[in-house]
Structure 1
Amino acid sequence: MPTDAHQKVMSLGSHTGDAHRHGRHVRPRTWGRTLLALLIACGLIGGGLYAAMNFIGLDQNMVREKCMAVVGSESYTLSPEQASNAALISAVATKRGLPERAAAIGIATSMQESKLTNIDYGDGAGPDSRGLFQQRPSMGWGTEAQVMDPAYAAGRFFQELETFDYSAMALTEAAQKVQRSAYPMAYAKHEGMAKAFSAPLTGNAVSALNCTLRAADSAGSPAKVEAALREATGITNAVVDGPRLKVPAKGKQGWAVAQWAVANAGVMNTESVSYAGLVWNRAQGAWVSAATTDGYVIIQSATP
């Protein structure tokens, strides 16, 4: 007599035989589990990518800091350090009563000589050349400490520029007459950039200078901003009001100050600059419409 185990085996064989006789193949029922596993894997990958993208978006180290000036259909980019020095050169020119053209010549010259950075070594002009304009103490430009002071160096450059009529000269010719470089035509290639930055920095272009910056890593100092503004522009009636600096200004002067402040936002840890119905802030990196204080440029420092 067959045992129960034997009957189960016989029964299984019988079903299998029926399946073969009817042309059907018996497959393990694993496709459902495979599909589920694939869906879970895709979900995990998609979630991981989404999280990574959001992490990158929030990672401030991925932000490329830059300052941009636009003139017509052309745009030019400088680093925040370079933009700050371009702003100082333009401010010194304005303080001396010089036109935008002089500021453009100064910016182009410094770009050629030092990449608009205050370097403490000679960069081809001579073994003792220093600073924004690579001025040489041995050639009568001042002491080493003086030519390393950006405000002094810019003032000294313009002092020399004012000794002749540069207004009718090509930019590279005017720069060469001051610098007496071994490469007299080298300044010409920086003319477009210099004009693009000198226009807003002298107040002749409205909201044409923007900076893209990371979030400030420390608090700014309105007192420090006031001191820098006073040295560069000669403005002495700015008022510190908590984390803000209020600068009385109107029209062209207001836009020169406002865009000077944007160009210096990186080095000064400035959060926003507002003037004449517009505000620039770090979060957007652009000028947008906003309520502003009439007759004042408001420079808001970053807070802890």
Structure 2
Amino acid sequence: MTSALNTPLSRRSLFVTGVLGLATATTAATIAPASAAEQEWTEEFMTRPETREGFAIDAMDDWQVENAKFVIAVVTGHDLGEEAATIALATAIVESWLYNYEPAVDADSGGLFQQRPSMGWGSYDEVRHKKLAIEAFLGVGEHAAAPGLLQAAPDYASWDVGAVAQLVQGSAHPERYGQQVAAARTLWDRYADDVEPYTD
């Protein structure tokens, strides 16, 4: 990870700091949320080894909650709203259970969206850099050559969420995105009102 990816991004944002290099950790129990006044976003982001434990919205750990909030923050920071956030959240649930995976777990893929450097989504570090990965998915990341949401479907709000997520991702299992739409909408309803748009 380059030094540019390790610097705090904002001290006004209202979220807990993660720790780089926790790929060997098996729990986030030791990471206690700070009070709202002390919370901030950094790109010293929380990582986990891959698991196939599934996703249960009412059993999310701190890692998953903070990553869901950050997706919402970045989406709204680009003046995109509920539909874009729902698509991004449903995709990240399917691809990573809302964990920011550090190692390559499927060919050269990694990060929240399991983006592949070999497919134009950015470098090894960039697909694991949460803000850059979200921006690449949305199609607002200048570092990525692959078409994101805004390029693939400028009228995404009129699309079925699962279909437009598949259009961006090109998954071998396209049916999985639609299965997580209800969870994604619940996350938006649960957290959007308390998350400041992230613009840094």
Choose from 81, 89, 93 the match for 2:75: 93
2:135 counterpart letter in structure 1? G
Aligned to 1:7: none
TM-score for both structures, normalised by structure 2:
0.62
Match of 1:81 in 2: 63
Aligned: 1:128 with 2:128:
no
Q: Which runs of 5+ in 2 are unaligned?
A: 1-28, 32-55, 140-147
**Deviation sequence 1:62-118 (CA, Å, 0-9, x none):** x9x9xxxxxxxxx94221110100111111110111111110111110111011101
Does residue 1:199 correspond to 2:189, yes or no? Answer: yes
CA–CA distance in 2 between the matches of 1:158 and 1:133? 11
Look up the match of 1:233. Answer: 198
CA distance in 2 between counterparts of 1:147 and 1:190 reads: 22
In 2, distance between residues paired with 1:153 and 1:191?
20
Task: Specify the alignment match of 2:132 in structure 1.
Answer: 152
Q: What is the CA–CA distance in structure 2 between the aligned matches of 1:149 and 1:109, rounded to whole Å? A: 16
Q: RMSD over aligned Cα, in angstroms?
A: 2.4
CA distance in 1, matches of 2:149, 2:57: 25
User: In 2, are the aligned partners of 1:86 and 1:116 still within 8 Å (CA)?
Assistant: yes
CA distance in structure 2 between the partners assigned to 1:131 and 1:106 by the alignment = 13
Letter in 2 for 1:144: Y
Structure-1 residue corresponding to 2:177: 187
Matched, 1:139 2:127: no
Post-superposition shift, 1:199?
Answer: 2.4
The aligned counterpart of 2:41 is none
Distance 1:101 1:111 in 2: 15
Q: 1:161 aligns with which of 139, 149, 167?
A: 149
CA contact 2:78–2:199 (8 Å) conserved in 1? no
Output the CA distance in 1 between the equivalents of 2:88 and 2:176.
Answer: 14
**Greater strand share, 1 or 2?**
1
Q: 1:121 deviation in Å?
A: 3.0
SS in 1 for 2:185: helix
Q: Which runs of 5+ in 1 are unaligned?
A: 1-62, 66-74, 210-228, 236-304
SS in 2 for 1:156: helix
In the other structure, the counterpart of 2:3 is none
**Structure 2 residue corresponding to 1:177, chosen from 146, 155, 167:** 167
Higher relative contact order, structure no. (Cα contacts within 8 Å, ≥ 6 residues apart):
2
Rounded to whole Å, the distance in 2 between the matches of 1:127 and 1:103 is: 27
- Partners of 1:91 and 1:201 within 8 A in 2: no
Give per-residue Cα distances to partners, 1:185-236, cap 9 Å, x unaligned. 1111111111011124332xxx7x9xxxxxxxxxxxxxxxxxxx7xx7127x
Per-residue deviation, residues 5-44 of structure 1 (Å, max 9, x unmatched) = xxxxxxxxxxxxxxxxxxxxxxxxxxxxxxxxxxxxxxxx
Give distance in 1, aligned partners of 2:114 and 2:103.
8
* 3-state SS of paired residue (1:202): helix
- SS where residue 180 of structure 2 aligns? helix
Q: 1 or 2, which has the higher helix percentage?
A: 1
Name the counterpart of 2:90.
108
Q: Distance in 1 between matches of 2:83 and 2:190?
A: 12
> Structure 1 length normalisation: TM-score?
0.42
CA contact (8 A) 1:82 1:116 kept: yes
